[in-house]
């Protein structure tokens, strides 16, 4: 599926369980579909229609399958913008067009600035030889948390641990405070990060006012 989308130059960002797999999150349940959030402009929707035609895509179930054809839906941008998601079956498997991801206010436009390019993998996690755009781990966490389905809730702890590790990693890989001083850089304030009782990543940030109190916050949408 993904090579066909890339061949047609469709602009999209991967979300969901497959997106988490691309971030190498461990402990997740196997996923049977791929969630993509496409850019909703006329040119990109035209490319998306061509790609889905090549894939033989058809709506799986729900209001879309009963009320309109996929081609008609993709040709009607205003209607599509009011659609939360379109579940499709193709000759190569299930593909979900996530138009309005849970917890992501502007869909593709919100995801794109922090999206990453990562190697695509097969169901076993093995690279398949091409790269794809994937939402940031933080946005995948937010969308899973806001979706609130049982399988999403079960995934939160694994996503949170991976997100915390991602936050910590640059600190370990970078210069120490003493090295930063020697290089003339401003030292970064120390932060603590941990997992709370419900699996949400929390960050301890220094307070920058006149006193030296610290404050805590959960990772979430800005």
Residue 139: per-residue pLDDT: 94
Q: Which of 191, 219, 186 is nearest to 206 (CA)?
A: 191
| 168 compared with 184, residue with greater pLDDT | 168
Whole-angstrom distance, CA of residue 35 vs CA of residue 49: 16
The domain spans of the chain are 2-156, 163-218
| Look-up of token digits 């915390």 | 164
pLDDT tens profile 157-179: 999 999 888 877 755 444 443 44
| 102 compared with 72, residue with greater pLDDT | 102
Q: How confident is the model at residue 198 (pLDDT cuts 50, 70, 90)?
A: very low
Whole-angstrom distance, CA of residue 207 vs CA of residue 199: 24
Scanning the chain, the segments in alpha helix (DSSP H) are 2-7, 16-22, 42-55, 63-67, 70-75, 77-81, 108-111, 137-147, 150-173, 177-182
pLDDT tens profile 35-54: 999 999 999 999 999 999 99
DSSP label of 186: P
| 197 compared with 39, residue with greater pLDDT | 39
pLDDT tens profile 57-96: 988 755 444 456 777 778 778 888 888 889 999 988 999 9
Residue 19: per-residue pLDDT: 95
- Give the number of other Cβ atoms within 10 Å of residue 104's Cβ: 22
**Does CATH place domain 2-156 in 3.30.460?**
yes
Is the whole model's pTM more than 0.85, yes or no? no
- Give the number of other Cβ atoms within 10 Å of residue 49's Cβ: 18
Which residues partner with 35 through β-bridges? 15, 96
96 and 110 Cβ atoms separated by less than 8 Å: no
């Amino acid at each position: 599926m993904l090579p066909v989308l890339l061949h047609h130059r469709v602009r999209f960002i991967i979300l969901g369980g497959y997106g988490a797999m691309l971030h190498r999150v461990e402990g997740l349940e196997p996923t049977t579909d791929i969630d993509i959030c496409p850019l909703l402009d006329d040119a990109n929707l035209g490319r998306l229609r061509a790609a889905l035609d090549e894939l033989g895509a058809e709506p799986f179930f729900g209001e879309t399958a009963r009320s309109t054809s996929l081609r008609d839906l993709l040709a009607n941008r205003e209607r599509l913008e009011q659609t939360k998601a379109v579940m499709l079956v193709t000759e190569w498997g299930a593909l979900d067009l996530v138009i309005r991801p849970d917890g992501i206010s502007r869909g593709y436009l919100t995801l794109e600035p922090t999206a990453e390019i990562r190697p695509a993998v097969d169901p076993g996690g093995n690279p398949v030889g091409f790269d794809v755009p994937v939402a940031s781990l933080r946005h995948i966490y937010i969308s899973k948390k806001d979706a609130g389905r049982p399988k999403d809730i079960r995934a939160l702890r694994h996503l949170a641990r991976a997100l915390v590790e991602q936050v910590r990693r640059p600190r370990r890989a970078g210069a120490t405070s003493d090295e930063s001083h020697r290089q003339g850089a401003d030292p970064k304030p120390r932060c603590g990060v941990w997992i709370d009782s419900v699996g949400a990543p929390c960050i301890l940030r220094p307070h920058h006012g006149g006193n030296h109190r610290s404050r805590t916050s959960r990772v979430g949408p800005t």
